[in-house]
Structure 1
Amino acid sequence: MFEHFFQCPYCWEEISVLLDPSVSEQTYIEDCENCCNPIEFRVRFENNELVEFDATSIEQ
């Protein structure tokens, strides 16, 4: 597993997520651990290295 730190698009707090480099492309939704709002993650790995990470708000 790979720990990645980023800024929440809602509350702007720095939080972390655990990413699995064995799956080369991932899209999933997870709630912010601080403000509980849903965040859509788009992640891409190449050769077990993170090459793309995007965390965007889901407009409700």
Structure 2
Amino acid sequence: MYEHFFQCPYCWEEISFLLDASVSRQTYVEDCEVCCNPIEVTAGFENNKLVEFEARELGQ
């Protein structure tokens, strides 16, 4: 698992999610641990390194 820190697109607090580096491309929804709003996360890995990450408001 890979821990990635970023700002919530709703409340702008720094949070982290655990990402599975064994999955090369993934998109899923997880709630912010601070404001509880749903965040759509897209992540891409190559050779177990994070090469793409986007966190956005759900439905945007």
Q: TM-score range by the shorter chain?
A: over 0.9
Are 1:38 and 2:35 an aligned pair? no
TM-score (norm 2): 0.95
1:58 deviates by 1.4
Equivalent in the alignment of 1:29 = 29
Q: Deviations over 1:5-57 (max 9, x none)?
A: 00000000000000110000000000000000000000000010000000000
Unaligned runs of 5+ in 2: none
Q: For 1:1-60, what aligned pairs fall within 5 Å after superposition? A: 1-59=1-59
Unaligned runs of 5+ in 1: none
Aligned length: 59
CA RMSD of aligned residues (A): 0.7
Provide the C-alpha distance between the structure 1 equivalents of 2:58 and 2:25, rounded to a whole number of angstroms. 20
TM-score (norm 1): 0.95
Identical amino acids, percent of aligned pairs: 73
Provide the C-alpha distance between the structure 1 equivalents of 2:19 and 2:30, rounded to a whole number of angstroms. 12
